[in-house]
Structure 1
Amino acid sequence: MSHVYLSRQLTPPAMVAARELGPPLVVHDDPDTPPSRDQLLRGAQGATALITLLTDRVDAELLDAAGPGLRIVANCAVGFDNIDVDAARTRGVVVTNTPGVLDEATADCAFALLLATARRLVEADRFVRSGREWIWGPQSFVGLDVSGGATLGIVGLGRIGMAVARRAAAFGMRIRATGSRATGDEARGYGVEAVELPRLLAESDVVSLHCPLTPDTHHLIGGPELAAMKPTAILINTARGPVVDEAALVTALEAGVIAAAGLDVYEDEPRLHPGLRALDNAVLLPHIGSAGRATRDAMGLLAVDNVRVVLAGEPPRTPVPTREETA
Structure 2
Amino acid sequence: MRASSTAASDLPSLVMLNAGRINFDGKLDFSPLEKLANITQYDTTSEEQIIERVQGHDIVLNKEMPIPSHIVNSFPPSVKLISELGTGYNNISTSSCTSKSISVNSLPTYATSAMSQQVITSILALSSSLHTQIISLTKNDRTYMSQCHLGPLPHSEVSSKTLGLIGGLGTIGTSVTKTAQSMGMNVISTSSSKPVGHSTDIGVEVVDVERLFKESDYVSIHCPLNKDTEGMVGKRLIEMMKPTAFLINTSRGPILNSEDLIDCLKRGVIAGAALDVYGEGSAPPPALEEGSGLWGMEKVILTPHIGWQRLETRQRIVDMTAEGIVRWREEGKGNVC
Q: Same fold (TM over 0.5)?
A: yes
Deviates more, 1:112-121 or 1:38-47: 38-47
CA distance in 2, matches of 1:105, 1:296: 10
Is 1:85 aligned with 2:81? Answer: no
Q: CA deviation at 1:161?
A: 0.8
Q: CA deviation at 1:183?
A: 7.2
Aligned to 2:301: 283
Opposite residue 3 of structure 1, the aligned amino acid is S
Q: Note the 1:44-193 alignment, pairs <5 A.
A: 44-54=54-64, 56-134=65-143, 135-140=146-151, 142-143=153-154, 145-157=156-168, 158-179=170-191, 188-193=200-205
CA distance in 1, matches of 2:157, 2:87: 28
| Equivalent of 1:304 in 307, 310, 322 | 322
2:164–2:187 CA contact under 8 A, matched in 1: yes
| Equivalent of 1:25 in 33, 39, 44 | 39
Q: CA deviation at 1:7?
A: 1.4
CA distance in 1, matches of 2:120, 2:30: 30
More helix by share: 1
CA distance in 2, matches of 1:172, 1:226: 25
1:47–1:66 CA contact under 8 A, matched in 2: no
Is 1:247 aligned with 2:247? Answer: no
Consecutive unaligned residues of structure 2, counting only runs of 5 or more, are 1-8
Aligned to 1:39: 49
Matched length? 311
Q: CA deviation at 1:292?
A: 2.0
Deviates more, 1:235-244 or 1:116-125: 116-125
1:79–1:97 CA contact under 8 A, matched in 2: yes
CA distance in 2, matches of 1:183, 1:175: 16
Deviates more, 1:243-252 or 1:137-146: 137-146
Q: CA deviation at 1:88?
A: 1.4
The runs of at least 4 consecutive aligned structure 1 residues that moved more than 4 Å come to 10-14, 180-184
Q: CA deviation at 1:308?
A: 4.0
Identity %: 26
Opposite residue 15 of structure 1, the aligned amino acid is F
1:236–1:262 CA contact under 8 A, matched in 2: yes
CA distance in 2, matches of 1:143, 1:270: 33
CA distance in 1, matches of 2:50, 2:220: 34
CA distance in 2, matches of 1:127, 1:315: 58
SS at match of 1:17: helix
Aligned to 1:324: none
TM-score normalised by length of structure 1: 0.87
Q: CA deviation at 1:17?
A: 2.5
Opposite residue 98 of structure 1, the aligned amino acid is L
CA deviation string 1:35-79 (max 9, x = no partner):
21112222123321111101x112222222322222111111012
CA distance in 2, matches of 1:119, 1:148: 13
Deviates more, 1:231-240 or 1:93-102: 93-102
> Does the C-alpha gap of structure 1 residues 264 and 192 become closer, same or farther in structure 2, counting only changes over 3 Å?
same
Q: CA deviation at 1:113?
A: 1.1
CA distance in 2, matches of 1:64, 1:153: 42
* CA RMSD of superposed structures (Å): 2.5
CA deviation string 1:69-117 (max 9, x = no partner):
2211111101222112222122211111112221011100111112112
CA distance in 1, matches of 2:99, 2:308: 31
Q: CA deviation at 1:138?
A: 4.1
Aligned to 2:331: 314
CA distance in 2, matches of 1:217, 1:163: 22
CA distance in 2, matches of 1:13, 1:187: 41
